[in-house]
Amino acid sequence: MPQVKIVPRNFMDMVASLPAVKLDMLYDNSFICEAILRSLPPLAKKYVLHLLYIDIPISAKSMEESVLPDGFSKHKVAIDRLIQLRVMTETFDRKKEAMYQLNPKFQLNLQKHIVHGGVLPREPMPSNITVRLPSLEELEAYAVEQWECFLLHLISSSEAGKTTNISSSMMKVFQRGLLSQRDDREPPRLTESGFQFLLMDTNAQLWYIIREYITNAEERGVDSADLIAFLLELSFHVTGKAYNTNTLTDIQRSITKDLSDLGLVKLQQGRKESWFIPTKLATNLSISLADTTSRKQGFIVIETNFRLYAYSTSKLHCEILRLFARVEYQLPNLIVGAITKESLYKAFQNGITAEQIISFLQQNAHPRVAERIPSVPENVTDQIRLWESDLNRVEMMPAHLYDEFPSRDVFEAACDFAREYGGLLWEDSKQMRIIVKADILTEMKEFLRRQKQ
């Protein structure tokens, strides 16, 4: 089964894709230098600190001497990451041996930041100016509600319970690759990538959407480097604190409006001032996907008889479960259904794999069963894999049937021709019928036309 994979990328991948000139402009900001340092793999951080006060190139061999044999792969990953981000440059001496040196601008600004500290991008507003701010629990609930509303609008605006302020043009950008539409008369349908996107965890979904947001920044008249710089800045804000919107540029105000619709910030208006409040989605933006250790509370219980119970009030959860399970009924806080052969076949045909379904069930296991090993019964996971392998035993291939040949000689010549081109799939010598691959349709037509002459 063909499979389209969405590879979510974090901020450092986006930073690495910037031109060298824009990267050097980013490194003028000492806080961005610190954000880059935070995001690096542990060994890469060690190399940066090791070279921070060394102003001459260091040979690659001297750095490799301290690496144990089983740590060489981690060493290579660290070096590659540093070079991709232009934190470190690679040169070659007269003997053509590799030499490494920190980016001078990054090195100087990080030295200053470590020794003297720095002024934060903006200070929180005093509590006597702001109205009652939401608690961390309320802010978390707001972020989840906004994100789920956005996802429902993304896949089906009719299912969303509330409207979103995201423009239709911006929504089309986010839907690119996730939805397809043959013509204006038909409603958009989820693509294979779209089905797979919905089964990702929230962090992976967020990186995908932010990647699209940054990639299309230039079309909206926003410099991608400025956008990345502001988003990285948000990682130094405190979750739940209020920050004055008057400290933002016009472009940054526009960005915060978009981010509020995604649940990354909450906007509030006072009598005279207005402010934005970052949620965890925003303050964790500079963290690598691999470094995210916070685990959301699960809601799914699967029994050995394939019965499924989802303790959730979310419309989005119900829509996601419909992708691979038969939802039988929904109570205010409980979704009841079952995983069936038919529901899984439908999921497989839409491009969802058995491993993605199993991973989703494991990641969202209810706390009562999450600590069990395994959290999803083995007979269920084994059967899901078996049903997928059953479906994959039959391969669909476009083909054409030819019969009613004028003579056996023409029939045998046609068989030889198709066999020679590697396109013969089946032949019936008694009835003089053959099936050939659609790939050689043009050549086969030309061959049969010549036989009639």
Show the tokens assigned to 273. 């001032």
- The mean pLDDT of 248-274, rounded to a whole number, is 90
Residue 151 · residue 320 · CB < 8 Å:
no
Q: What is the pLDDT of residues 178-206, one digit of tens each?
A: 887 666 666 777 787 888 888 887 877 88
Hey, is 70 helix, strand or coil? Answer: helix
Contact 27, 103 (CB under 8 A): yes
Q: Where are the alpha helices (DSSP H) in 59-103?
A: 60-64, 72-84
Name the token pair of 20: 């060298």
Measured CA to CA, the distance from residue 374 to residue 221 in angstroms comes to: 50
Report the C-alpha gap between 358 and 302 in whole angstroms.
Answer: 11
**Phi and psi of 396, rounded to 5°?**
-85, 135
Q: What is the pLDDT of residue 179?
A: 80
pLDDT category at 4 given cuts 50, 70, 90 is very low
The percentage of the chain sitting over the pLDDT mark of 70, rounded to a whole number, equals 91
Helical spans, DSSP H, in 305-377: 315-321, 341-349, 354-363, 367-370
pLDDT tens, residue by residue, 94-122: 888 999 999 999 999 999 888 887 667 78
Task: Read off the pLDDT of each residue in 47-63 and give the average, rounded to a whole number.
Answer: 92
pLDDT range class, residue 293, cuts 50, 70, 90: very low
Cβ-contact 155, 198 below 8 angstroms: yes
Complete DSSP assignment for 375-437: SS-HHHHHHHHHHHHHHHTS----EEEE---SSHHHHHHHHHHHHHTT-EEEEETTTTEEEEE
Yes or no: say if 279 and 139 are a contact pair by the CB < 8 Å rule: yes
Return d(Cα 306, Cα 396) in angstroms, integer. Answer: 29
C-alpha Rg value of the chain to the nearest Å: 29
pLDDT at res. 315: 87
Cβ-contact 48, 40 below 8 angstroms? yes
Angle 417-422-425 (CA atoms, 0-180°, nearest 5)? 90
Question: CA–CA distance from 261 to each of 58, 71, 178, 218, 405 (Å)?
Answer: 48, 43, 19, 20, 65
CA angle centred on 322, ends 151 and 143, rounded to 5°: 25
Residues whose CB is less than 8 angstroms from the CB of residue 219 and which lie 6 or more positions away in sequence, other chains included: none
Q: Is the peptide bond before 374 cis (omega within 30 degrees of 0)?
A: yes
**Residue 57: burial class (beta carbons within 10 Å; 0-12, 13-18, 19+):** middle
Other C-beta atoms closer than 10 Å to the C-beta of 283 total 19
Q: Mean pLDDT across the stretch 132-151?
A: 90
User: At residue 250, does pLDDT exceed 70?
Assistant: yes
Within 216-249, residue ranges assigned H as helices are 224-234
Q: Do residues 54 and 104 touch, judged by C-beta distance below 8 A?
A: no
Assess contact for 81 and 44: CB atoms under 8 A.
yes
Strand partners for 426: 435
Spatial separation of the C-alpha atoms in residues 244 and 122, rounded to whole Å: 8
Q: Pick the closest to residue 358 from 393, 390, 322, 383 (CA basis).
A: 383
Q: Tell me the pLDDT of the chain averaged across its residues.
A: 85
Mean pLDDT of 253-269: 91
Domains, the chain, in order of start with CATH, read 11-116 (1.10.10), 136-288 (no CATH), 300-392 (no CATH), 399-452 (3.30.70.2610)
For residues 275-304, average pLDDT: 75
Residues 189/181, Cβ–Cβ less than 8 Å: yes
Question: Residues 213, 24: contact at Cβ < 8 Å?
Answer: no
What pLDDT was estimated at residue 382?
A: 96
Phi and psi at residue 57, in whole multiples of 5°? -60, 145
**Does residue 8 have a cis peptide bond before it, meaning omega lies within 30 degrees of 0?**
no
Statement: residue 8 has pLDDT above 60: no
Report whether 433 contacts 401 (CB < 8 A): yes
* CA dist list (Å): 49 to 38, 101, 169, 392: 12, 12, 44, 51
Do residues 208 and 200 lie in contact, with contact meaning Cβ atoms separated by under 8 Å? yes
Q: Mapping DSSP to helix (H, G, I), strand (E, B) and coil, where does residue 181 land?
A: coil
pLDDT in tens, 149-185: 888 887 765 555 566 667 777 788 788 778 876 666 6
Question: Looking at residue 7, what is its pLDDT?
Answer: 44
